[in-house]
Amino acid sequence: MERYRERDLEILTAIGEGRPLTQRALAQRLGVALGLTNLYVKRLAKKGFIKITEFPRKPHARKRLRYILTPKGLLEKSRLTYDYMSHSLGIYRRTRETLREALSHLPGDGAKRVVLYGVGEAAELAYVTLKELGLEPIAVFDREEGGVFLGLPVRPIADAAGADLDAVVIATFDRPEPDIAELTRLGLAREKLLTLRRPLPVGGEAGRR
């Protein structure tokens, strides 16, 4: 799903919640600049998905804007939600298939010392797949340490460099090549790095997913 469609869905969802909403609050929610949020809102209003009305906060006070989801906007929100769910399920299925292929040999090889690199939804999916295969990650690493994920403390990836590990699952839905390069520079063996997406062949673009 294209990023601009995800933005549209986020904005329509926020407005559809019916709570008072300022552009500044919307910008913070989206994680983008205020000026860019203004452009997004105006584009959706131009398409007829939202209605912008002005109302005074009190006499002689500066006017404020109210955003209202139109019937057309409600239909668009429903359509985008369906597209987003279909897209997410597709990612889930492809990722699970790729990961199961990569991990399926580990139990038979007696591999036990498997760790996750990364936190978030991708790592949660990797964890579920590991559990299905009878494996339990012994540690969680990330670029920066801090916090707890899946009941394990999140440690800096540098700690994994000298550890006795059977496999490192690179838990990201993004292209894995930058992480592979980073981990191999730290001294981790390439054959122990498992990814949720199939890496591109060296020197080529074939096989992009």
| Residue 13, both tokens | 């969802």
Same-domain status, 78 and 120: no
Range of the domain at 137: 104-195
DSSP string computed for 139-178: EEEESS--SEETTEEEEEGGGGTTS--SEEEE--SS-SHH
Q: Is residue 204 part of a domain?
A: no
pLDDT single digits (tens) 90-104: 877 887 787 778 777
pLDDT at residue 99, rounded to an integer = 76
Q: Is residue 60 part of a domain?
A: yes
- Lowest mean pLDDT of 26-35, 105-114, 126-135, name the range: 105-114
Asked whether residue 205 carries a pLDDT value surpassing 50, the answer given is no
pLDDT single digits (tens) 103-119: 777 767 777 788 999 99
The enclosing domain of 39 has a CATH number of 1.10.10.10
Same-domain status, 74 and 9: yes
Same-domain status, 23 and 57: yes
Same-domain status, 132 and 74: no
Same-domain status, 38 and 117: no
pLDDT at residue 30, rounded to an integer = 86
The enclosing domain of 137 has a CATH number of 3.40.50.720
- Say whether pTM exceeds 0.75: no
